Amino acid sequence: MHVKKLHFTAHAKQRQSERELSEQKIRDVVNYPDIKKQVKRGSEGGFIYKFTKTIEDKVLVVVAEVRKDTAWILTGYEKV
């Protein structure tokens, strides 16, 4: 899977700003995760996944619904 289009929910935009997560880091976590876990069926016709990746000694987590080459970013955070 390679996501080309990202859509951010209002919640995700707020968290992205608060947590200083760049769009590029979010894209990297979704496209090249260390761990990808399917959570449930999404409302956009895709599946919701929890993506985890270590970047610069930080473990980043992104939750997104993915359908084909599009991801709807629900939230993102640094795992402590």
What is the chain's pLDDT, residue by residue, as a tens digit (80 residues)?
A: 689 999 999 999 998 889 889 999 999 999 999 999 999 999 989 999 999 999 999 999 999 999 999 999 999 999 98
Tally the domains of the chain.
1
How many angstroms separate the CA atoms of 42 and 47, rounded?
5
Domain containing 21 equals 5-79
Q: What pLDDT score does 55 carry?
A: 93
Handedness of CA 51, 32, 47, 72 (dihedral sign): positive
